[in-house]
Structure 1
């Protein structure tokens, strides 16, 4: 039996090849179904993808940060539309929006796989017959449904691997190349700044332990910081040097939580994670904690294991209690000054949970006679759990890519209007403005994490009466405002519902909308024009490749 186990587990090349095949099969449905694939909408199709398309179509990628992109809000700064020089944009340019998105996702998984493989091998230094653990854990990490399309989470293992190599005195150029790529393929504000803080803590520990400074390691940290300044130049310029620019973020107010709400939020983070940085550790939590406890009964205890676990626990508490009413006011002031949310340490959690899983399973395999037999079902169960969170499954009730953006339908609308798109402005009611923007229309509404405060105020005049009728909606717009949407009190935030709906009375200030250049409304709901003065229905558009039934209204008030 032992010989058979060694023959199976002692073939890392075979297991690596199988893992890569599984990753390819994971993405095969997206290639097979093409644009009929169901893709995440929230903070993805409703924003990120459209921002990329708008920027690429504008031809302003290398323009100065304050260059105005006229498609949005009568001119949004280049830095607000897409504030980084990002390698992922190359794939969109080469392969188009959909296939660029899928290729980038596939590339992210491959990077995640090899990065975690290299990192676990370096940290664990496994014997050949248990090397399958590192490879299998790397596969689990690679199949996580990474949000967005950068290396902000998936690239953390490989860049940490590079930093540890430099820290250990390795002089190979690959380490510096990895650091350079990561700086232009990840977000400083999602994970980069928090990763640098971890590196600085490691540097301080080394100085304390060795009584000297590791100069190459310091240089590597400095290099990453400088390269981030370059790749995020657009954002830094707008916040630090453009005195004429005031962001809508200055009016953001963090929702204050009670102690009980904060505790539940922290507990959920520790046990389940957060959807922007999926770790899917709901069940691997148990073997990880169990091994952490077991280590106290063995002579060889791993301090790095316990420190990582404590780090996750403390940052989960930070995530929950940063909005606690005793701390929220300070956080609100800080967020108005810098575009960093301090609770985003959780973007590092997937890296650390799977590091802990690799360490835990290796501990079990080494310390117990039948350890390998215990490890295998844990890996298989976690693989099943991760595969259950495939985007094709979790988004099956959502729209397909082509039906969401409905290019044929909006092409018909554009031809019907019959004027150059830059000569008029539109708003969307009951659907995401990103759809109109994706299809080349110039929009007065949209979803952006940073845009001019002046536009927020001007657009509020248009929707003020509707906000007054719904206090929750009013707080949502006034206290956050990143979704600068044409909100109706009746539809509220249901901008994904495709069922037939009717707005009995829409109390928009159409004069204020006209003053902003607004001429047309794309609405997924029928508006009762008898009770709503100032608009008229021009046409209703439907198409087999669209999930929407769009009512086109023209503003006729003088």
Structure 2
């Protein structure tokens, strides 16, 4: 039975999707750079880029520095468009202007790809309206990192998916070549290409009664390729940062990871949390099994497939339900049962991955082999649209205080004249090109990086694995006092900094860091949001005033 969307519903979906898309295209130009940034994802982008620009070292790198290797294309380390175009724009126009320009380019890219898509789909029927609304909702997400291009380019990938289904292997081979040649550009796009392909496969299988084996084979190729890229198998040979070791160390040595083949075990745990970052690990295995199993048609195999479908659906529903409870009822429950605060149930914006797995499981296993209620089919389709909408709203809420939200604006978070004064003071005393950097306590290192000050710690992962382990030895006193943050440092292999919560109650610096390790790392200065009592070898030099509601007073200590 074909599902017909009423014309008014069709128009409403498109309007809902198009309004935020157009708003985010125009608003950064009218309002300036304050409007456009989600702080979390820029912590590992803006800082390293700013250090390179401030040192006039965009193409020259200090191998010992945390900020290293723009040409090795660290994932999430530098923002931009295809082939480092965005990096060059930022270099020539500055960080803020560069980000606004990149935003405009990315949005226009989405508009052009949408135009090409609509040319193929004329007149607009119900299938096209559904895909258009979903893709526009992706494109509306106000994000300006490399993975942001994945949202904006969803329409183009729908077009590619159409060509794959119609033309078969020739287009597939061409696209694989493009993928492998520009793997860094497509790195974060991969998950969303796979996601939208799942949606399209579901829609065709379920409502149009069309089955394209080549599309499912293509999905398997996408998943396998993306997995190889995620593990950076060839980065290890091209760089000194050893990202592969970071990933393995992060998962297999984590205290809260189920060590079932290391990475794979962690991935299945993350599925229960609705975490899309890890969802493709078991996803490509399940998809690969589905492709292989499609060659067999005997009864026993089909029974196994159906059982796997039920298991998969159950896992996804746990992710969705736990996410709902975490963001609704459990907030109050946690006040009475504090231990629940250490359990990550997931977030609304991650719950979409669970919906994707429902789509995958039902389209690959269920819809081809046994009947399910029509209401469930409809619920899944509208659930995807609702999930993406909630995701977009949740992203937007993190952006600008000027729009009535709690999140700081980009300018309030990064741009503070006091840190420029700090940079001038430090530069008069140390050579930034040779210095290991300063140590940040209670203030994110990216703030200093944005102002051109090298740091020992960092939010990104562009540093050697040995450096991470040395940093953990440096902050061992803090880890001993705060087991939760110690587990976080082990579980997140690319994080090397101490938040304010870890130093709020301490009185002396030696309760926070190991002074002997600090001297071994040749750390000359400490910037802290906490004032410490006097002790031998550490002297208060100056204080710098930031915005009270964000950074307050920061204290600079010299290490003797």
Whether the 8 Å contact between 2:137 and 2:389 is mirrored in structure 1 is no
The reply to whether residue 421 of structure 1 matches residue 432 of structure 2 is yes
CA distance in 1, matches of 2:224, 2:72: 19
- Given the alignment of the two structures, is residue 540 of structure 1 paired with residue 543 of structure 2, yes or no? yes
CA distance in 2, matches of 1:405, 1:541: 14
Pairing of 1:5-84 with structure 2 (within 5 A): 23-37=21-35, 39-42=37-40, 44-54=41-51, 68-72=62-66, 79=72
SS state at 2:433 partner = helix
1:551 to 536, 550, 554: 554
Provide closer, same or farther for how the CA distance between residues 241 and 484 of structure 1 changes in structure 2, counting only shifts above 3 A: same
Which secondary structure does the structure 2 equivalent of 1:554 belong to?
Answer: strand
Hey, what does 2:489 align to over in structure 1? 477
CA-based RMSD of the aligned residues comes to: 6.2
User: Who is 2:139 aligned against?
Assistant: 142
**Aligned CA distance change for structure 1 residues 165 and 355 (closer, same or farther; 3 Å):** farther
Count of aligned positions: 454
Q: Determine helix, strand or coil for the equivalent of 2:468.
A: helix
2:241 and 2:464 in contact (8 A); partners too: no
Deviations 1:234-265 (A, max 9, x none): 9444425779958344433345479xx99997
Q: Deviations over 1:425-464 (max 9, x none)?
A: 2011111111112211121111233632321232233222
Is 1:521 aligned with 2:526?
A: yes
Instruction: Please list the CA deviations of residues 362-413 of structure 1 after superposition, one character each: whole Å capped at 9, or x if unmatched.
Output: xxxxxx9xxxxxxxx9999999867744625665212221221234221111
Give 1:169 shift: 2.3
- Listed as ranges, the gaps of 5+ residues in structure 1 are 206-211, 278-305, 321-344, 357-367, 369-376, 495-500
Quote the Cα distance in structure 2 between the aligned partners of 1:241 and 1:113.
Answer: 36
TM-score scaled by length of structure 2? 0.59
8 A contact 1:462–1:513 mirrored in 2:
yes
Distance 1:382 1:251, change over 3 A: closer
- C-alpha deviation, 1:135, in angstroms: 3.8
- More deviation in 164-173 or 458-467? 164-173
CA distance in 2, matches of 1:355, 1:153: 20
Q: Alignment partner of 2:509: what SS?
A: coil
Per the TM alignment, residue 171 of structure 1 is displaced from its structure 2 partner at its CA by 11
Query: What is aligned with 1:294?
Result: none
Give a deviation string over 1:122-180, Cα, whole Å, max 9, x none. 7x987658865554444333223558333345434522431431442289999958983
Q: Distance in 1 between matches of 2:218 and 2:132?
A: 31
**Partner of 1:47: helix, strand, or coil?**
coil
**SS in structure 2 at match of 1:447:** coil
Matches within 5 A, 1:312-323: 313=313, 316=316
* Alignment match, 2:417: 408
Match of 1:281 in 2: none
CA distance in 2: counterparts of 1:310 and 1:121, whole angstroms: 40
Cα deviation for residue 504 of structure 1 reads 1.3
Matches within 5 A, 1:184-199: 185-187=185-187, 191=191
Query: Matched residue of 2:159: which SS?
Result: helix
Q: Distance in 2 between matches of 1:37 and 1:389?
A: 15
Q: 1:313 to 1:187 in 2, by over 3 A?
A: farther
SS at match of 1:527: coil
Contact kept, 8 Å, 2:79 with 2:86, in 1: the verdict is no
Q: Which runs of 5+ in 2 are unaligned?
A: 206-211, 259-265, 280-305, 321-349, 362-373, 375-381
Cα distance per residue 1:328-373 (max 9 Å; x no partner): xxxxxxxxxxxxxxxxx989778899999xxxxxxxxxxx9xxxxx
The counterpart of 2:89, out of the listed 71, 91, 94, is 94
The structure 1 residue matched to 2:156, chosen from 150, 155, 158, is 158
How do 1:158-557 and structure 2 match up within 5 A?
Answer: 158-169=156-167, 180=178, 183=183, 185-187=185-187, 191=191, 235-240=232-237, 247-252=245-250, 253-256=253-256, 266=271, 269=274, 313=313, 316=316, 388-389=393-394, 391=396, 396-417=405-426, 418-419=428-429, 420-424=431-435, 425-449=437-461, 451-485=463-497, 487=498, 491-492=500-501, 503-507=506-510, 508-529=513-534, 532-542=535-545, 547-557=550-560
Q: In 2 relative to 1, CA 190–314 (structure 1 residues): closer, same or farther, beyond 3 Å?
A: farther
Question: 2:527, 2:556 within 8 Å by CA — same for their partners in 1?
Answer: yes
- Do the aligned partners of 2:141 and 2:151 also contact (CA within 8 Å) in 1? no
Asked if structure 2 preserves the Cα contact closer than 8 Å seen for 1:436 and 1:443, the reply is yes
Shift of 1:38: 7.0
Q: Distance in 2 between matches of 1:482 and 1:107?
A: 30
